[in-house]
Structure 1
Amino acid sequence: MKSRALVIVNPIAGSYTKEKYNSLCTALTNGGMEFDVFFTDKKGDAEAQTHTAIKEQTHSLILVCGGDGTANEVVNAAAFSDIPVGFLPFGLTNVICREIGTQKPIPEAAKIILNGTVKSAALGKVTSIETEKHRYFISMAGFGFDGKAVFGLNRRLKKRFGIWAYIFSGLQSFLNYVPVDIGLTVEDFVYEATSVIVSNGSRYGGDFKIAPNADITNDTLYASIFNERTRMEIIRDVISIIRGQSCRCRHIKHIQCQHVTIDNGVHAQIDGDYLGKGSWTVETVGNALQVIY
């Protein structure tokens, strides 16, 4: 296999600029890395190109320059291959970059990858009970209120207004909130819950640490269980997360786990992208992805 990187760039990612892209190319060139660049044009391009690179053994490293959605596509294509993946911050929230320490100016982020070591990471696996189809996530998955907020996200608004589109969608879900039990089971124990966030990494929605003990190199998930019945309870829980105090909030349960089931037909998101509506199982898969940082 060639010692050469494939740089996958999403030019409509939230913080992409031509200057950032040029800065990356300069940093990689100065660091002695040979690379090819692929610009995505539509959803699914990053995943397809990664599949091709792995199948044809054309590159020895894949660098993702996009948001968490682009990262998730590459994760799903690169899972269980021996090709390492590096993540660079070109999106809005860049959760995985914050997790591994590359949420920095591009020259610094590139240097971390150039001097980094390859580590084996676990992934979360979400499977539809109805269709048996599955997808992997590297940061987190949300079911219930969280999934519905992502479902309501208008892609055109996201492109134009960035993070404010997420906030607007969340407000819409908040104003229309009707509590529905999601049918949650964690490690054979049944819980009353209106939503759950299952974390593979420690962060959620940016730099908010919802599962401080989580580590992508450990094959352990953390379920953050919410049971809000009123809008005021939602506000209370959101404030706890923003303050980094969710683990001390008596209204949010945090459970270390390997397996979760949601069986009441709810909206789901993985790594910030909408997955669908249905019933789901979530499990951890160890040694699933090679990550460089």
Structure 2
Amino acid sequence: MNSSAALIINPSSGSFSKKRMDQAIKLIEGRFKRVDACYTRGKGDGERLAQNLVRVGYDIIFVVGGDGTFNEVANGAAFSDIPIGFIPSGTTNVLTKELGIPNDIYGATFRILSGTERYISLGRMNRKYFICMAGIGFDAEAVFRVNPFIKRLSGRGAHIVSGLSVLLRYNPSNLSITIDGRAYQGTNLIVCNGRLYAGNYTVCPEADIERGSLQVFILHGTGRKDLMRCIYHVVNGTLKKMKGATLATGRNISISGRTHIQADGEFIGFSPAEISIRERALKILS
């Protein structure tokens, strides 16, 4: 029996179930001599709690929440070599879908406890790590303008409402982009460490969370019609056929120009941005 496990739990996440959480904790307590649980109350708590738990030196840290909570914990536990088990209870749960983990607190816990350790890469944008993806431009502004009250009521519906609002006043910035020394111009970017985007959609089909490189989608067009065409192709899985866009792969990306930026669905500020890949940055159980 392993000696110690800690849980970081976001009870406000979109699909959290106390009943399933209690069942999962009992399952964990059957495998560890010491189990401690701590709860997030606001933005940034996941990172601070992870840093504290890493200093204590637990054998494993379980994280219960959505992609925003997962991102915070990754920022607090990167390069610690303590395995992290991601348990989904959020709105879209992109990371756990990427890892093939069941979309249920108890089922995910059971899977992780019988899983194997492996390392994944993390992207780094300015001073923040991201696990799955970073967005620059339209989707980041849509994240920025999400109404928290509507999100609590409708989950993903809040993102749709925000996206439509941003689309109506769409006025993109022109961005200068360099990927491993290659120069591009564009208005919107999605930088992918993983294959999935916003749930079950795919923007960068060759991205691999273990590979050690980033795949970048660049939209070149400046008009609302260009963006709507892009959204159409994303929803229908035909992005490879789209004209006026580029897919590129690289390890170091520079973006000049001012626009909104987000990481794993959380707004983090404005460009310019420096993005890179950090290999074997996080040990996970899946």
TM-score of the two chains, using structure 2 as the length reference? 0.94
- Over the aligned positions, Cα root-mean-square deviation in angstroms equals 1.6
Give the Cα separation in 2 of the matches to 1:237 and 1:222. 17
Residue 109 of structure 1: aligned partner: 108
Percent identical: 34
Cα contact 2:119–2:210 (8 A) shared by 1? yes
Within the candidate set 247, 253, 265, 1:260 is matched to 253
Give the Cα separation in 2 of the matches to 1:96 and 1:103. 11
Greater CA drift, 167-176 or 2-11: 2-11
The verdict on how the C-alpha distance between 1:106 and 1:31 changes in structure 2, with shifts beyond 3 A counting, is farther
Give the Cα separation in 2 of the matches to 1:33 and 1:174. 53
- Deviation of the 1:206 alpha carbon: 0.7
Cα contact 2:3–2:32 (8 A) shared by 1? no
1:187 has 2:180 as partner: yes
1:71 has 2:70 as partner: yes
Within the candidate set 272, 275, 290, 2:268 is matched to 275
Residue 47 of structure 1: aligned partner: 47
Give the Cα separation in 1 of the matches to 2:245 and 2:33. 46
The verdict on how the C-alpha distance between 1:104 and 1:47 changes in structure 2, with shifts beyond 3 A counting, is same
How many equivalent pairs are there?
285
- 1:152-231 to structure 2, matched below 5 A, reads 152-231=145-224
Cα contact 2:8–2:62 (8 A) shared by 1? yes
Cα contact 2:5–2:32 (8 A) shared by 1? no
Give the Cα separation in 2 of the matches to 1:88 and 1:205. 17
- Deviation of the 1:140 alpha carbon: 0.3
Residue by residue over 1:144-194, the C-alpha shift from the partner in whole angstroms, topping out at 9 and shown as x without a partner, is 112111111122322222111111111111001013212222222221211
Cα contact 2:192–2:207 (8 A) shared by 1? yes
Residue 4 of structure 1: aligned partner: 4
Residue by residue over 1:121-157, the C-alpha shift from the partner in whole angstroms, topping out at 9 and shown as x without a partner, is 1110111xxxxxx110010001111211111112232
Residue 137 of structure 2: aligned partner: 144
Residue 95 of structure 2: aligned partner: 96
Cα contact 1:69–1:271 (8 A) shared by 2? yes
- Deviation of the 1:56 alpha carbon: 2.0
1:99 partner letter? E
SS at match of 2:3: coil
Give the Cα separation in 2 of the matches to 1:219 and 1:185. 18
1:24 has 2:24 as partner: yes
1:251 has 2:244 as partner: yes
Give the Cα separation in 2 of the matches to 1:11 and 1:24. 14
Cα contact 2:137–2:172 (8 A) shared by 1? no
Structure 1 unmatched runs, 5+ = 128-133
- Deviation of the 1:29 alpha carbon: 4.0
TM-score of the two chains, using structure 1 as the length reference? 0.92
Structure 2 unmatched runs, 5+ = none
Give the Cα separation in 2 of the matches to 1:241 and 1:232. 14
The verdict on how the C-alpha distance between 1:235 and 1:103 changes in structure 2, with shifts beyond 3 A counting, is farther
SS at match of 1:232: helix
Residue by residue over 1:10-49, the C-alpha shift from the partner in whole angstroms, topping out at 9 and shown as x without a partner, is 0110111222322322443456685221111111111111
